[in-house]
Structures are given as C-alpha cells and as structure tokens.
Structure 1
Amino acid sequence: MGTGSSGTTVAARLAENSKISVLLLEAGGNQNLYNDVPAFDSKLTATDQNWNYPIVSQNYSYLAYVDNRVNIQQGRVFGGSSAINSMNYYRECPDYYRLWSDITGVKNWSFADVLPFFLKTENNLDNDLVFNEPMYHRSGGELTVITPAIDVILKNYIIASKQLGYKWTHMDGRNPMGTTYIQKTIDSNGYRESIAKVFLENRSQKNLRVLGNSLVTKILINHKKQAIGVEVYRKAKIYQVFAKKEVIISAGAIGSPKLLMLSGIGPSDHLKKLNIPVVSDLKVGYNMIYPSLVDSNTISFDIINQSLVEKPLETFKNIYNFFVNHSGPLRKEVSGVTCFPEMSYNSTYPQLSNGCVLPRTSYIDTDLDALVAPYKHPDQWRQYFRPYLNRTSFSLFALIKRTKSVGRIQLASIDPLEEPIIDPCLFCDKNDIDDLVKSIKLSLKIYTSTHMKKYIKPFKYPIPGCTPCLHNYFCDTYLKCIVQANTHWILPMGGCRIGVSPKSDAVVDENFKVFGVSNLRVINSCIIPVATEQINAISVMIGEYGAHKIINNF
C-alpha cells in the first residue's frame, strides 16, 4: 500500500508475473506538470502533494520558529516523495550496510548483497561511469540517473575544496570521504524521474491495478493473526479489500507505523490507552532516526556576480525552453557533497561519514511574507532576507547523518484521519549540537576560503536572535545559537525497525515479515536501522529486495 519508491517497485516487480494480481493503493492523486520540472521541487512541498506532518513543540531546537516546530515533508501523490524530492541518487558506502548487520544481527544485508538490487533498476546515462565502473553501475534499468552539468559556483566550490585537501571521490558513496557532485534521477530531456513515471506511467500491466485518493486506514487481521486485507477510506466511504496471499505495507516512514498501530500492532501500553486490541506487542514507532541539517536560509552566501547563474523563474521563456527545447534553468537541480574525514562515524567503520555539507545554489523568491511566515519574529527575518530577494545565493546545508538523538511516533487517537504525534526529540542528546557545529565549521573553511571569496560573500546581517563574535564572526557560541534556532531534522526512518527478534526492538525480520502476524510485510524506509541523508535510491533498492524475497518465498 503506497506508491512511493519502495511500494511502487514491489508492486511492479510482483506484477511481472502474470499469475500474480496486485492492487496498489495511494492516498494522494496524480502528478502534474510541476512534478516534471526539477527546479520546482520547493514549490511542490507547498501543495497537497505533501503530507505536511506536524511535529510536537521541541525543547532544544526550532527556537526561531512559531511554537518551536515545523511540518515534515512526505509525498502524498503517485510516486510518493520521489515526486517532490531533490532527486538525489546516492547509495551509501559498504560500511553503512555492515553497521546495519552489526546493530540488528540480520544476515544477507551487506553491500554485496544489496548491490544487485541497486543495479537492477539503474539506467545510468553517464557513459564514462558505466564503462569505467561496470561492477557498480549499468544502463538498461527502468530508473534513469544522470550526472548533471554543474554551474560555475559549484565548479569553483569543488576547486576550493580540493585546494583545502579534500579529495575527489565516488559519487555513489562507496568511499564518501571527500568531495563529489550528486547524481540525479532526471531523464535525458531534463524531466524528473519519479518512481511512478518509471513503473506506472510507462508500463501497462493488466494484473496491476492502481487506485488513487484511497487512504488505507486499517489492516484486517483474523483470529489466527493472519493479515487478510485492508480497510480503505475512499470518497468519504469505507471499503474492505481482501488479499489472497499477502498484505504489503509501504505507507512511508510516518504512515507505516501509524497504520500498524491503528491495526493493533505496536507497543501494548500505548495501544491499551487508546482501547485498541493488541494483536502483536512490538516497538512500532520507536527508534525513529534521522539526519539533521542547518536550514538553507540560515547560513547563506550571496553570489557576487548574479550573471554567473540563471534564475529558475516561472517565465514563459523558461517554460517554453524546458518543455520544447529541453534547456534552460528549469532543468537544473544541481548539488554536491563534501563529507569530512575529520567526522567519520568511528574507527570501526572508517568509511562511514557523519559530518557533511551539501552545497547548492538557491534562488530566493520575492514573496517576502511567505519566507518569514514560519518565524516567531518575522520583522527581524524580513530585514535579513530583504537585500537578497530575486537573487541566487549559495547555501550551506551542513548536516550530521547519524544523530544520537532518537524520536518516536505515536497515535493521537483511534481516528485514522487524525495526524500522529511525531516527536523527533531533536538535540535531546546534546552531543548532536556539538557534532553539527563541527560540521558547520568544517564547511565554512571551504565557503570562506580565499578562492570562494571571489564568488560569494556572507549575508549582510547575522541570523536574527543570534550574535556573532567580534574576534571571530562564526564563533562557537554563534553557531550553537544557529543550530538550536534553525536546524531541521529530515527524512525520518526506523519506526518499524528490521531485526532478528522483537526482543531487540525489531518490528520486521530480515525478510520484511512483521513479527507475530502472518501474511504481512512492511517494505519501505521505516525498516532502516541506520540513518542516511539520501534515501530515494535506498528505498528503491528495498523495494527490489522485498519483491525478490516475496517471489522466492523467503
């Protein structure tokens, strides 16, 4: 259930067997032309294609925001988050999957195990990469991946990072320490490659039926603790749909834990408080992990010569060039990544990065009211942004990939239409603040380098509510203030963690089967036990691996 990167992949692969009948249910509706345009990703998150899940007020973060909280982006549309995200294609390194196994005890989840399932879907149009790295990349799969042309600012950022000793590295993450640019799921015409376009629009399979605007509200489980179907809310009515073989839940990192708990699968103490009969007592909603990063508007640098970059404006000329000539600024969604050796996870996993920065150019819209709306003190933020409206800046997305803080998802009530209670508990472990400050400081060495000063300069005013130091503008106290005022958690995962036993807080086993309930699997990012900041490629791999296990009766 769910047409995101994992769910659509599972459904499409199962339907390749003509003897299997698949019903794919999606809470959202169809994509539109905006979804095709890479430069419009930020516009899409402000539409009904985004769940916009609210989080609870935070004690140690979002201090600049109204109520100390924000809403979380998750796709509610055919294609799920792949239809509204930044299109980054990144796999993580071998140590990442080794840590999966070490934490959970699961087998057959090494990099060597999962690589074939990355390759199965990959259609990489970087011919040099495919030729030079045939063991790691291929063309011919369904999901098109490109190496986008980088702009002048990012090109000089790469030069500056090399001058500071950061080596050029693999764009697929095999050896992440150093600098590279990120590949994108964009087709040869410059259009976004969402997973729905790949597997649903471009195929016709009579045994795969897809229904949109259909919210799954409950898993139907019989007295033998067998999943036998689902309850669906569609057009203000409730329907029941029964499955002959299995029910597969791919409702996203938030939706999947919510649905399981509504169905009686979850922590017994929580379910009993809501008078939900307990079917299987599992740690659903626990172990929610995530990366966290400094918001793009927080530490930004003005591009001195604006003629060096094209503005992705929604003009007739740009739209015509994009859809007719497949050219212009609307097809560009370019970003890079530098991961710092100084911030490796630990000596046991030397390849595993923790502190990184994602450099990219960002256009600052002229709608000042929209920019300042989330903040407690909008007038101060108006002053901060006003000099840079209708200009392109170079954003510093410093992040930590694997926070020590852990969040939780709970039900607010038994009403399936009510939003769940989401508490990321951001910075509940204070070490995360120090780690993110360190990542910012390492990033600033590149942004403020002699080479980059030719192209960019810091914004005129300091961050509202935070005070720089006279002796060192970006001092630790200023950066700590920024971190707590304006840092986001992104890409939640882990609420239905994979593992070998419920005693280890696991919800599903290594074959995605839910403990205590037969004929039920959860296959999407909520099973992930180790956080990462680029999740789309991994989610597609999870879908491929899940379909493989179902077809081969694991």
Structure 2
Amino acid sequence: MSFLPNLFLILSVLLIGLNFDPIVRQEPDAVYDFIVVGSGPGGATVASRLSEIPDVKILLLEAGESDLNDPRIQIPARANELDQTDIDWKYETEAISRPPFSDRSFQMPRGKTLGGTSSINYNVYMRGSPHDFDSWKDSGAVGWGWSNVEPYFRKVENATMDGMSAKLGRNGNLKLSRNHNKPSVAWTFIKNAASELGIKTTDYNDDMLGISPVTFTIHEGIRQNSMTAYIRPIHKERQNRLHIVTGALVSKVLIDNDSPFGPKAYGVEYLKNGKYHTVRARKEVIISAGAIGTPQILLLSGIGPKNDLQDLEIPVIKDLPGVGSNLENHLSINANFMTNLTNPPPEMKPVVQYILNGNGSMSMFPYSAVFVKLPLNDTSTSLNARRRLFPDILLFVQESPALPTLLYLAMLLHPKSKGKVTLRSKDIQDYPVISPNYLEHGDDLQVLKEAYRLMEKFERTAAFQKAGARVMMPSICNVTENKYAPRSDRFYNCLIWETSGSEHHQCCTAKMGSSSDEYAVVDSKLRVIGVKGLRVVDASVFPHQTSSNTQASVYMVAEKAADLIKQTWQLRTL
C-alpha cells in the first residue's frame, strides 16, 4: 500500500514534530462529571468511551505534554531512543544490596506524554493466556474470568492484515498488524530449530504455546498509541464534552471525609506551571496513572497502610494495606548469538522504504515469540487447587536488520517475588520508593535458570549448528570455563544475578479482590474499597501478572470499566 497519502503526516510529525496540538486545552473548567487521571491505555480508553454519553463532561488530565511534540514516538523502530528522555518518567528502583544482588538498581521507563506508556513501548500486543484471567476470578475478581473478558479484548482490536487470527476483533479502535508475513531468513531458521525441540509453529492469538509471529500496535508503519486509537478520531465531534489538559501533575484526590455515606471523592488537586489548582467531579474520579503513579496518588490522598501514612503525617482517609503492595514485574535474562546468516540486500534505503511504503526495518520489530511451559512444579500463581496451564516463560528471539546477530531474551512470566511502592515524602514531585524484591523467592531463580537451559537446547539443534550460531556470553562469572553447553548451575546463578533485566510490565499495586482479601484495593467493579466516587483503571488493578506484555490487558480492563461506570450511573450512549 502506498504511503504517499500520509506524506503530510510524515513530514510534519515524523520528521519535525509539532509544538501545537489542537485537542489540548490550557485550563479546564471548574466542574466535570468525570475526571480521568492519566492518558495511557487505561485513561484514554475510559475517557473516550464515557464521551459517548450525551450531556456529560469529562476531563482527561495528563502530567506530560502532547505526543506530537516528539517525532520519534510515531516511528516504531525508534522506540529504543525514548527511554530516559523528557517523555519518560525515568523511574528507578532502590538499589538491591542483599544477596543475590549487590547494589543493583533497575530502570523502569513509563510514558510521560499523551498516550502514556503506549507512546514509548515496543508496540507488542499480547492478550495473555485464558488461564491468567480464570486465575484472576479464582483470586476474588468476580466477573473477570476468560469468558467475561474475551469479548472486551475483541472490542479493543482491529486486526488489519490478511491472515491474522480469526480470534482477534476486526472492528475495534486499536489497529493491529503482525510481522513475518514475508518470512525472513532468521524467522525460518528459528522456526526450524524450535521444531527440532518439539515446539510447534502457531499464532499465539489462537494457541499460546509454541513459536509465533508477533502482533503489534502498528498500522502502515505508524505507532498506534491510545491517543491514535481512542481520542484523536473522535475528539473533534466531542470536544465540548471531552476536555484534555496536559502538564497537569495530579497531587491528590480531594475527598469529603464528613459525608454521611462515608468518604467520597469530589475532585483532584494538580500542579501545573508551578501552581496548584483544583477541579471538581460531580460523579467520579478515575485514576489511571499506572502501577507506580496510581499508588503514589492514593497514598498522598490518605488511602493506604495506616502506619505508613501516619509516619508522614498524612491524614488517614481509608486504611488499605494493599496500596503499593503486591508489585509484580517480569524479570528477564538474555544472550547474544553470532551466526553466518545474511539477509538479501534491501531494494532501497530503510528511510526511503519507510516514507514511500510504510514498511521495512523502520516500521516493525523483527521478533519471534516463543511461549514455553517448563518441566517445573508449583510455578502457578493461581489460588485455585487446579493446575493452570499458562506458560512459564516467553522467549523473544530478535534478529538485527543486517544480521548476523540474534538476541535471545527470556522473561519470567509469573514471578513469586513481590515488591512494593511506598512514599518517599508528601511531595508529589518526589518520586516514590520502588522496591522490586527481584529473586526474593528461590523459584524465580530456578525458572530463569531453566530458560538458559532451554537456550542450550537451541544451541544444539541442527538448525543452529548449520547457521553457525554461537552464544556470546559476557566476560564475567568465570565464563571461560563455561564457554560451551552444558554450563554449570553456579555460572547461570551468577549470570542471572549480574545481568538479569527489568521488563516494563509493572502491575498489581492496587489489586482487585474480594472483601475477605486484606490486600485488595479495588472491588470487582474497580471501585476503591471504602471510598465512594473513586475508581482505578490501569495495570495496578491486576490481581496477578499475565503471561504476556501488559498493554493489551489494560485496554481490555478499560473497555470493561467504561461499561461498569455506565451501568453504575445508568447512562446511555448515543
């Protein structure tokens, strides 16, 4: 498909950026029906769906600025340039100084711009395993089993390419495409190696276990973030009832603690241009600030562990021990391979190919995804006695456009180690304390070690041998004695301790659960327990991590949340 019709967008946005965004207002009105905090997949989706209702007003507040300001956002292959920039919150964990780590901290990029993290991520779209959501239901999230959430995934999705899974939606807001429609040299070689190991070729949207092409939130070479999918297409016709204000850092939820029906949220306070402002909500405040930002706002609002709040002299509105607790994230290991593979020379330079056709190496990531169930016992996070057959690890095998290198990256999908987000001070500009507690539970180390053992099996396949694939380990951990497989457990323990990386799939810090769960923060309708007029709609409400990147599930949660809110207020859409 010719990319020339989008030439103006390419030249004005992709190459030079825009400093003016017509959907943004400088100041809000004084009162709205709904205030949504955060414009990522959670906030933008719920704001868009609520704007379908006539005669209501919605305010969407974003701490960052417009996603049109940075041209790199729109180009998928430039995602690796966005971490540690002005559109990244630049969160960093506390240094872990206990064994197995010695003074190691981890970066946790989060998007600080319209679109939130959907503007800086690597565009991977994965629902996760049906077992993940049945596990949510088993742990007290009534109405969130697979049969309940699958229709909302389909409502999100718009699979645009021929040959994509029939299980994906075709009429949703979020345009999806996939790679490997034209198999590359590396895809064929990796698929052959997997086949030797009994790993079938599949589409993870149909059957998760196996090797699969990757589905992306990319359309005709352009990133599809939450603004592109849910806000920009509808804003002109709904601008009178959906207002968007950027540069607004929400410092707390305003709560009436003297209400005859118990604490009730009635607005928010936010910091913009060095001054604090307030805005009121008639019906609800919806927090969609992510697994780090959301607990920080709740804690500053007096919602969280009583003793922690009292230590900082924050008036306690609701004692909820789970706020900031139960932090989960995917930890990963990686290795690089050198091969003798080469790709045919491109017909044109990547930039030219991208501008003219919207494809090529600048438009997509050359990943293969491999979901594997390992021969381990007791790795399920489900509280149900039945065994949940979700995968233990996800491998990404990435080729470079020029070859001959390959990246092997394996993620621990269901960590047993739990971290925590706590306040550093009462100042919203003072980042919270993020304590990930990686590898605190010994089972997590065991799973990652088995992921390296699987890498050794790939090394020994005829396909890898034919491609001359040689693993290139870093010069640490007595690598000389462990140059060839099988390598020692001690070597892999050391390698994991020294080189494992933090993926950017934080969740579960305001988890959904039943009234009997001491650490539940929201109920099954995403309402903050004990505070009326306040909901959370983002990855922090996950009861457990999913077997995948979290982006798709946040969109799903937001679609379902919008229906729950409409039902609560008996509001009908046009």
User: Counterparts of 1:197-216 in structure 2 under 5 Å?
Assistant: 197-204=228-235, 205-206=238-239, 207-216=241-250
Deviations 1:467-526 (A, max 9, x none): 343674633222111111011232111100101126431000000000111000001100
Q: Does 1:219 align with 2:253?
A: yes
| Map of 2:513 onto structure 1 | 499
Q: Does 1:547 align with 2:562?
A: yes
| Map of 1:71 onto structure 2 | 107
Deviation at 1:458, TM superposition (A): 2.9
Deviation at 1:456, TM superposition (A): 5.1
What percent of counterpart residues are identical?
27
Deviation at 1:70, TM superposition (A): 2.2
Amino acid at match of 1:80: G
Deviations 1:321-367 (A, max 9, x none): 3133323310121322222233574593343111231111257xxxx
| Map of 1:386 onto structure 2 | none
Which of 474, 494, 519 is the aligned partner of 2:487?
Answer: 474
Amino acid at match of 2:193: A
CA pair 61-327 structure 1, distance change in 2 beyond 3 A: farther
Deviations 1:53-112 (A, max 9, x none): 111111357858xx4112211111111111111111111122111111112x22111111
Q: What is the RMSD of the two structures over their aligned residues, measured on CA atoms?
A: 2.3
Q: Does 1:147 align with 2:175?
A: no
> If the length of structure 1 is used for normalisation, what is the TM-score?
0.87
* 8 Å Cα contact 1:61-1:427 kept in structure 2: no
* 8 Å Cα contact 1:228-1:246 kept in structure 2: yes
Which of 200, 215, 222 is the aligned partner of 1:167?
Answer: 200
**Partner SS, residue 228 of structure 1:** strand
**Partner SS, residue 203 of structure 1:** helix
User: Counterparts of 1:334-483 in structure 2 under 5 Å?
Assistant: 334-343=366-375, 345-346=379-380, 348-362=386-400, 393-455=405-467, 457-460=469-472, 462-467=474-479, 468-469=481-482, 472=485, 474-483=487-496
d(CA) in 1 for partners of 2:73 and 2:117? Answer: 11
| Map of 1:382 onto structure 2 | none
Q: Does 1:193 align with 2:207?
A: no
Which of 164, 168, 173 is the aligned partner of 1:137?
Answer: 168
Deviation at 1:215, TM superposition (A): 0.7
**Partner SS, residue 96 of structure 2:** coil
User: Counterparts of 1:20-99 in structure 2 under 5 Å?
Assistant: 20-31=56-67, 32-59=70-97, 63=101, 67-99=103-135
Deviation at 1:175, TM superposition (A): 3.4
**Partner SS, residue 277 of structure 1:** coil
| Map of 2:286 onto structure 1 | 248
Deviation at 1:16, TM superposition (A): 1.0
Amino acid at match of 2:162: N
Deviation at 1:217, TM superposition (A): 0.7
User: Counterparts of 1:288-303 in structure 2 under 5 Å?
Assistant: 288-294=327-333, 296=334, 299-303=335-339
Amino acid at match of 1:478: F
* 8 Å Cα contact 1:463-1:482 kept in structure 2: no
Amino acid at match of 1:152: V
| Map of 2:163 onto structure 1 | 128
Deviation at 1:539, TM superposition (A): 0.5
* 8 Å Cα contact 2:211-2:370 kept in structure 1: yes
Higher mean displacement: 236-245 or 436-445: 436-445
d(CA) in 2 for partners of 1:407 and 1:399? Answer: 17
**Partner SS, residue 353 of structure 1:** coil
* 8 Å Cα contact 2:93-2:435 kept in structure 1: yes
| Map of 1:485 onto structure 2 | 498
Deviation at 1:400, TM superposition (A): 1.3
d(CA) in 2 for partners of 1:248 and 1:264? Answer: 16
* 8 Å Cα contact 1:357-1:399 kept in structure 2: yes
d(CA) in 2 for partners of 1:90 and 1:202? Answer: 24
d(CA) in 2 for partners of 1:256 and 1:222? Answer: 20
d(CA) in 2 for partners of 1:359 and 1:247? Answer: 42
d(CA) in 2 for partners of 1:60 and 1:151? Answer: 44
Q: Does 1:13 align with 2:25?
A: no
CA pair 148-234 structure 1, distance change in 2 beyond 3 A: same
Which of 272, 284, 295 is the aligned partner of 1:234?
Answer: 272
Which of 321, 324, 348 is the aligned partner of 1:285?
Answer: 324
Deviations 1:376-422 (A, max 9, x none): xxxxxxxxxxxxxx976211111210111110010000011001000
d(CA) in 1 for partners of 2:282 and 2:264? Answer: 11
d(CA) in 1 for partners of 2:58 and 2:203? Answer: 38
d(CA) in 2 for partners of 1:318 and 1:498? Answer: 45
Q: What stretches of structure 2 of length at least 5 have no aligned partner?
A: 1-36, 570-574
Deviation at 1:222, TM superposition (A): 1.0
Amino acid at match of 1:458: R
CA pair 62-431 structure 1, distance change in 2 beyond 3 A: closer
> If the length of structure 2 is used for normalisation, what is the TM-score?
0.85
d(CA) in 2 for partners of 1:123 and 1:475? Answer: 47
Deviation at 1:437, TM superposition (A): 0.3
| Map of 1:534 onto structure 2 | 549
Amino acid at match of 1:496: A
d(CA) in 2 for partners of 1:62 and 1:192? Answer: 38
| Map of 2:307 onto structure 1 | 269
* 8 Å Cα contact 2:295-2:323 kept in structure 1: yes
Which of 109, 112, 115 is the aligned partner of 2:147?
Answer: 112
**Partner SS, residue 220 of structure 1:** strand
Amino acid at match of 1:414: K
Deviations 1:402-446 (A, max 9, x none): 111110010000011001000010011122111110122113312
**Partner SS, residue 82 of structure 1:** helix
Q: Does 1:102 align with 2:116?
A: no
| Map of 1:522 onto structure 2 | 536
* 8 Å Cα contact 1:358-1:398 kept in structure 2: yes
Deviation at 1:46, TM superposition (A): 3.2
Deviation at 1:34, TM superposition (A): 0.8
CA pair 302-550 structure 1, distance change in 2 beyond 3 A: same
